[in-house]
Amino acid sequence: MRVKGGYKTRRRHKRLLKLAEGFRGRRRNCFRLAKLAVQKSLVYAYRDRRTRKRDFRSLWIVRINAGTRACGMSYGRFMQGLRKAGIELDRRVLADIALRDPGTFSGIVERVRAEA
């Protein structure tokens, strides 16, 4: 007796094609191509959740470095001075202060310079 997939196959295909929404060309509606595209996209999503953390850290470092250079100090000396001064602000907060409130940031740099 032959059993056809029917309902279960259609349900599986619809679930996968739902994940392929927004893709271009036949990758959106042809099951075989959509399956490969969705697998690849899930690999990228997994990998880039980790990469995003690195990207943001490097962005924060660039912003802090720009702020400290404007105040006449290097990034490395600034971070060393922060530890010596006992100022416990992380890079994300420091980058935000450097970008949005340069006056406050220059005050932090001056305090670090006084401690070092």
CB contact at 8 A, 78 and 112: yes
Asked whether residue 39 carries a pLDDT value surpassing 90, the answer given is yes
98-110: average pLDDT: 95
Q: What confidence tens digit (pLDDT) does each residue in 62-94 have?
A: 999 999 999 999 999 999 999 999 999 999 999
CB contact at 8 A, 70 and 81: no
Element (H, E) at 46: helix 31-70
Asked whether residue 46 carries a pLDDT value surpassing 90, the answer given is yes
d(CA 79, CA 6): 63
**What is the SS3 assignment for 68?**
helix
CB contact at 8 A, 27 and 34: yes
**What is the SS3 assignment for 5?**
coil
What percent of the chain is predicted at pLDDT more than 70?
A: 100
* 7-115 carries CATH number 1.10.1900.20: yes
> Which residues, at least 6 apart from 59, have a Cβ–Cβ distance to it below 8 Å?
95
